[in-house]
Amino acid sequence: MRAYGFKSNGGPEVLEEIQVPTPRPGPGQVLIEVAYAGVNFAEVQHRRGEFGEPDGPGGYDVPGLEVSGTVAALGTGVTERAVGEQVAAYLPAFGGYAEFAVADADFVRPVGRLPMAVAAGVPCVYPTAYGVLTDAGRLREGETVLIHAAVGGVGSAAARIARALGASRVLGTVGSATKTQAAAELGYDALLVREDFADAVREATAGRGADLVLDPVGGPVRRASLEVLAPFGRVVVYGDLGRDADWTADVWDLWKNNRTVAGYNIGDVARRSPAAIGRYLSTALSALASGELASVPPAVVPAADVVAAHRRHEAGRTQGKTVLAFAAPQVG
C-alpha cells in the first residue's frame, strides 16, 4: 500500500512516498481504508525526532494520529463495528498517513452524517479539547476561558466546546494581527495578538483575569498566563509549540495567589483510560453532526502534498484543520 513516512528525522523534506505491506488487524483492532488523515503538530514533532528516531518496518515511521475511512476488516473479538462502516479513529501509535491503518476498537467510532473530511480532524483534536477543558481544566459555567494558539485545530475546537459547556467569555491569542479577524467565525469574543496579550486580557475582564487558560505554547506565554489568572484560576499545559527552555513554577507563588497549573496529554490518557477517548470521540462526532457544535470545513490537500502541508503547519501558516486526502471526496 501507499504511505508517507520518514527514515531519518529532519525537516518536512524527509517525508517521502513509500510502499509498505497492508497491515492486518490483531485482536481487538479494526483495519480502516483511509479516506482522510488529519495533520497535527505532534506529527511535526514526530518527524523532527522529538519522540525518538524512526524504528518502524523497513526503518520508516509513518506519522498520522487521526483518520476517517471505511472499515475493511475486523480483528478477533471486535463486535461493535462492521465491515463497510464509515468511521473515524484515533491512532496513538501513529500510522495514519497511509491507504490503510489499524486502530484499537476503543478509539474507533462511526461518523454518522458528518462529512468524512471533517470527521478526519476529530479523533485527536476533539478528545484533547474536551479533556483540557473538563478533566484538567475543570471548566464551570459562567467562567472566562483564554486559549493560546487559538486558530489551530485544538484551539478552534476548544473555543466552540467551551461555549457549549457554558463559558461566559472565550478569548484567544494568535501569533499575528492578520489572524485576529477570524474571532467571530471561530466562536471567540476576541482574538488578541499573543505578544501583548496580558494587558489585553486584564482590560477585557475589568482586571479580574481568566478563570482557565489553555496553553500549548510554553515559555514566556506560560509564565505570563499565570499572571492573568483570576482567583482560583487554572493554567492547563497540553503542548510546547515554542520549544522554550524548561521553567519552574514557584509553589509559594501558586499557594499565595490561589493559582493552579495542570497538565493534559492525550497519549497518556489513551494508555491509562482508553474509554475516555472513545467517549469524547463519540460526543464530538454526534455534536458536530447534529449542529450542536458548529462544523468548520477543513483545508483538504492531496496526500501527495504532505511535505508542503507540514511546511505550512510548522511555520504557523495554517488556520483551523488540515487533512490529507487519500481517496476521492466522500460524505458521511
CATH for the stretch 2-124+273-325: 3.90.180.10
Q: Report the pLDDT value the prediction gives residue 139, as an integer from 0 to 100.
A: 98
Q: Judge whether residue 236 has pLDDT over 50.
A: yes
Q: Please name every residue paired with 213 in a beta bridge, in sequence order, or none if there are none.
A: 146, 235
**pLDDT tier at 328 (50, 70, 90 boundaries)?**
low
Q: Report the pLDDT averaged over residues 185-200.
A: 90
Q: Number of helices (H) and strands (E), helices first, in the chain? A: 11, 15
Q: Judge whether residue 154 has pLDDT over 60.
A: yes
Q: Which of 33-47, 101-115, 178-192, 285-299 has the lowest mean pLDDT?
A: 178-192
Distance CA 97, CA 38 (A): 9
Q: Report the pLDDT value the prediction gives residue 331, as an integer from 0 to 100.
A: 42
Q: Of residues 174 and 178, which shows the higher confidence score?
A: 174
Distance CA 303, CA 326 (A): 6
Q: Report the pLDDT value the prediction gives residue 166, as an integer from 0 to 100.
A: 97
Q: Which of 81-95, 136-150, 303-317 has the lowest mean pLDDT?
A: 303-317
Q: Report the pLDDT value the prediction gives residue 243, as an integer from 0 to 100.
A: 72
Distance CA 167, CA 22 (A): 45
Q: Of residues 213 and 194, which shows the higher confidence score?
A: 213
Of 175, 201, 198, residue with least CA distance to 189: 201
Q: Report the pLDDT value the prediction gives residue 83, as an integer from 0 to 100.
A: 98
Q: Which of 59-63, 119-123, 162-166, 315-319 has the lowest mean pLDDT?
A: 315-319
Share of residues in the chain with pLDDT > 70 (%)? 98
Q: Report the pLDDT value the prediction gives residue 329, as an integer from 0 to 100.
A: 52
Distance CA 289, CA 304 (A): 29
Whats the size of the chain, residue-wise? 332
**pLDDT tier at 152 (50, 70, 90 boundaries)?**
confident
Q: Report the pLDDT value the prediction gives residue 332, as an integer from 0 to 100.
A: 41
Q: Look at the domain 138-263 and name its fold.
A: Quinone Oxidoreductase; Chain A, domain 1 (3.90.180)
Q: Judge whether residue 178 has pLDDT over 90.
A: no
By 3-state DSSP, what share of the chain in percent is helix, strand and coil, each rounded to 5? 35, 25, 40
Q: Report the pLDDT averaged over residues 264-292.
A: 96
Q: Report the pLDDT value the prediction gives residue 183, as an integer from 0 to 100.
A: 77
Q: Report the pLDDT value the prediction gives residue 330, as an integer from 0 to 100.
A: 46
**pLDDT tier at 317 (50, 70, 90 boundaries)?**
confident
Which secondary structure element, helix H or strand E, spans residue 270, and what is its range? helix 266-272
Q: Which of 17-26, 54-63, 68-77, 186-195 has the lowest mean pLDDT?
A: 186-195
Residue 304 DSSP symbol: G
| Domain spans, the chain | 2-124+273-325, 138-263
Query: For residue 61, what is its C-alpha cell?
Result: 515511521
Specify the pTM. 0.92
Helical axes 306-314 vs 41-48, angle rounded to 10°: 100
- Work out the mean pLDDT of the chain and round it to a whole number: 93
Q: Which of 208-217, 244-253, 273-282 has the lowest mean pLDDT?
A: 244-253
Of 219, 170, 174, residue with least CA distance to 195: 174
Q: Please name every residue paired with 191 in a beta bridge, in sequence order, or none if there are none.
A: 172
Q: Report the pLDDT averaged over residues 120-142.
A: 97
Q: Please tell me if the domain spanning 2-124+273-325 has the same topology as the one spanning 138-263.
A: yes
